[in-house]
A and B are shown apart, each in its own frame.
Chain A
Amino acid sequence: MRYIFKFPDIGEGLEEGTIVEWHVEKGQKIESGDNLVTMETDKVVTGIPSPKSGTLVKLYGKVGEIINVGDALVEIEIEGTETTEDPTDTKSHVEAVKEEGAGVVGTLEIAGSGAVLSASTEGVDETPEEAPKKRKTLATPVARAMAKDLSVDINKVEGTGPAGRIMKEDIQNYLQSAKTSAPAASSTGQVFTPEENLVEVEPMTQIRKTIAKNMIQSKHNAAHMTLFEEVEISELDRIRKKFKAKLADDGVKLTYLAFVIKATAMALRKFKSLNAQMDMDAGTMIYKKYYNIGIAVDTDKGLMVPVVRNADRLSIAEIAAKITEFSEKARDGQITMEDMQDGTFTITSYGSIGGLFAVPVINYPQAGILGVGRIAKQPIVKNDELAIGLIMPLSLSVDHRIADGGETARFVNQVMAYLEEPTALLF
């Protein structure tokens, strides 16, 4: 039987992904669960495992091409069953999904016409029906090839051909206007054309698109308020140095960040509005009783925010181990969708690269984000005398709709108290 495996929605409402690398070739025998392809979606770079065992008869798309969720990814010839089914018959596939799909690949549901994650709350039944209803965009073969090649979403292009057919020229005009309109709106009024050679114009990666969308969403929706502080961490530094070598034996790097995460999680337990979000439509405040701290990680692909779950209940050593794991994953491009879900508060430690204070953008819809600046020795006044202190700058942005000024200041004081005297974290 010929089985078409369609690109599943591996996250929440993904629309498309870019092929990063094929791990299999046409004609190869594969086992269920074998990694087929690495895809970059707007949230993660992730491997897609095969739902079936058999022989690969067709791979759709080359490296760099965009595949829409629900589009065919590979065709697998499954041995021992008759080839009676028309592989292009979508309907029979939706049925195949229902009877054999569930659970074959663990978290991945086999995609029907509208693929869903099994863990998703969306119903398996309603989604597949929606997708085929969408009217197929009329476009000429050349226009389609060109749109695919240049990463143009053909559904956004207006067709000028007969019956609204999208022609080659429409794609070119769309690209031209996309190029000229965005920069033209900027204050410089500059228009960039690739011909000038002074600029390089390249299509946005999925991750960059998501970052842009999220940043704007946050700035648009949250009422940002930022508070700056400095905390003296000589004692913390002493403890860190003391246990650093011990953890290094297990391959774990004990960083300042591990302490900051622990201190923040513990403080959040005392100030519930900093670990909250609001639902304006429902008119409700949602206070979360779990403390999952996202940490902003700088990768070559762009910013990613993996989450340390239940940080309040982890030891500093356990948190440090988690950070080490995430940095290795980030380096190898292995951070998964799952790693990044369910954060309740975020910490960004830009100071490890540079910068004292910043105005961090809240990871919407969370209530706050704590920025950690560059730690440096500085003169301090201690017992009316000058002394050398180790200063950590802190910048806390909160959504002022959720957290009031007093609450915010008290929260920072608590975080600082834990950082000044880390043994307090034990009590």
Chain B
Amino acid sequence: MYDIVIIGSGPAGYVAAIRAGQLGLKTAIIEKNVIGGMCLNWGCIPSKAIMESAKLFKRIGKDAGRFGIGGIDKKALTFDWSKAIKRSDGIVKKLTTGVEFLLKKNGVEIIIGEAHINSASSISVNNRNLEAKNIMIATGTKSPAIESTVEGLIIEPKELFKAREIPENIVVTGKTPVAIELAQAFNLIGKKVTILCPGDRIMPLADQYVADYILNKIKKDRIKISFETELTSTEGIYADGILSLGEDEIKCDMIVNAATRKAILPEIDIDMKLTEEGYISVDEDCQTSIPNIYAVGDVNGLSYYAHVGSAEGLHVVNHIKGIKQKLDIKKYPINMYTVPEAAQIGLTEADIKEQGYDYKISEFPMSANGKAMTEGNLDGFVRILSETKYGEVLGVQIVAPNATDLIAEASAYLEMEATIYDVAQTVHAHPTISEVFMEAGFEAVDQAIHK
């Protein structure tokens, strides 16, 4: 009898498994593919590795001369996707091996195979029957398939990060930050990119102000975007490298499917409640409609972020061990690996209006920050939304080259329920990008110094 059997070894499942092992629970983790799941193998890590290559490529061409580096012939620069992938593979290998090592070190049994849930306490895998006191489903999500008879036209993210030729004209479908990020990466290496965006705005979870800023940026970079466009099949609208959408004829050699992802449900013999969108329905402790079966990570539809999945996984293990905590995903940062990066935490301006707070916005531009100037990155801002009575920091949004790292400071503000007075009083070293926080704090309290 296992204390817990975890299905899926992505960042929600494997983190929970390590924690369960540490707490002395008899733990097994079942993975049908590779350890580390999407995040490590064909999500977060490879996409970031490729993005770094793409940014460096662009930067060398654009900035080398201006930064005093001679001998670079801009026209002679080429981008080798396969070589970039090789570097990425090295990183992935290092990380997945590390995860496997940690699982074993903490006494977690790793089973490669496809799980089948027979009952609330029984799972079959590879003709084996496992009895479990608790089951954690961490099977993740995938983009709904786009039907096409043209071989190799539709590329899933899972297939993208492999050694391959990247053609000239690329269509990316989707509205999430992942879709924008991929489109920008292709744009940086000189490809012609079109985004097909279902709905009327990109990055629906982002504050409108952030989304608008990024939208302006991608338009400026000549990435085409077509709103209210959902692609489910290329049948009858694709021929000879041309995708015909109404009157639009889009040159297209490859379609990257980055549409909003749907739950991957495990095989299960008992009834489990799902949400309207088909995710596994869970309560505030990530418990499903079946007691002792939990669902964490993307599959419960609460969030598509690895760090949220990990936090949920840890929460469930603690919950099983009787450690009481509160899971408040509004206090977790949302990172968008666009160019420049965007990140936010807490309430958006729309949330704040809806909840009826009296609020104040203080914004400080990167263009007034000394360190940003030296780095030659003037895009972006930090924006603090605070309520006026106590000065509580309700939400923070950042657009900056390293926004996804800068947001960590704001996470601490939210976690500790800090006020703008605390922000303003926290001395930030000079010269750093992080000074923008202090300046925004000054502005919220009274007036910024360098604005």
Q: Do A and B bind each other?
A: yes
Contact with B419, one of A141, A160, A167 (Cβ below 8 angstroms): A141
Whole-angstrom distance between the alpha carbons of A168 and B390 in the complex?
Answer: 11
Contact with B along A141-184 (1 / 0, CB 8 A): 11101100100000000001000000110000000000000000
> Nearest CB to that of A148 among chain B residues?
B390
B279-310 residues at the A interface, CB under 8 angstroms: none
Q: Are B418 and A145 in contact (CB under 8 A)?
A: no
Scoring B326, B389, B417 by chain A CB atoms within 10 A of each residue's CB, the highest score goes to B417
Chain B residues, Cβ within 8 Å of A167: 417
- The answer, yes or no, to whether A299 is at the interface (CB within 8 Å) is no
Q: Are A140 and B389 in contact (CB under 8 A)?
A: no
- The answer, yes or no, to whether B416 is at the interface (CB within 8 Å) is yes
- The answer, yes or no, to whether B421 is at the interface (CB within 8 Å) is yes
Whole-angstrom distance between the alpha carbons of A182 and B417 in the complex?
Answer: 29
Q: Are B389 and A141 in contact (CB under 8 A)?
A: no
Whole-angstrom distance between the alpha carbons of A140 and B418 in the complex?
Answer: 7
Chain A residues, Cβ within 8 Å of B418: 140-142
Q: Are A145 and B391 in contact (CB under 8 A)?
A: yes
Chain A residues, Cβ within 8 Å of B419: 141-142, 145
Whole-angstrom distance between the alpha carbons of A141 and B414 in the complex?
Answer: 11
A interface with B by C-beta (< 8 Å): 140-143, 145-146, 149, 160, 167-168
> Nearest CB to that of B391 among chain A residues?
A145
- The answer, yes or no, to whether B100 is at the interface (CB within 8 Å) is no
7 contacts between A and B (CB under 8 A): A141-B419, A141-B421, A142-B392, A142-B417, A145-B391, A146-B390, A168-B392
> 4 new A-B pairs (CB below 8 Å) besides A141-B417, A141-B422, A145-B419?
A140-B418, A142-B417, A146-B390, A160-B326
**Number of cross-chain contacts by CB at 8 Å:** 27
Contact with A along B380-391 (1 / 0, CB 8 A): 000000000111
Q: Are A168 and B417 in contact (CB under 8 A)?
A: yes
> Nearest CB to that of A145 among chain B residues?
B390
> Nearest CB to that of B390 among chain A residues?
A145
Q: Are A149 and B389 in contact (CB under 8 A)?
A: yes
> Nearest CB to that of A167 among chain B residues?
B417
Whole-angstrom distance between the alpha carbons of A373 and B385 in the complex?
Answer: 62
Chain A residues, Cβ within 8 Å of B389: 149
Whole-angstrom distance between the alpha carbons of A149 and B392 in the complex?
Answer: 14
Chain B residues, Cβ within 8 Å of A140: 416-418
Whole-angstrom distance between the alpha carbons of A143 and B416 in the complex?
Answer: 10
> Nearest CB to that of A168 among chain B residues?
B417
Taking the closest CB of chain A, its distance from the CB of B389, in whole angstroms, is 7
Whole-angstrom distance between the alpha carbons of A168 and B415 in the complex?
Answer: 11
Chain B residues, Cβ within 8 Å of A168: 392, 417
Taking the closest CB of chain A, its distance from the CB of B173, in whole angstroms, is 41
Whole-angstrom distance between the alpha carbons of A167 and B416 in the complex?
Answer: 8
Whole-angstrom distance between the alpha carbons of A141 and B417 in the complex?
Answer: 6
Taking the closest CB of chain A, its distance from the CB of B395, in whole angstroms, is 14
Taking the closest CB of chain A, its distance from the CB of B314, in whole angstroms, is 14
Contact with A along B412-437 (1 / 0, CB 8 A): 00001111011000000000000000
Scoring A140, A142, A146, A167 by chain B CB atoms within 10 A of each residue's CB, the highest score goes to A142
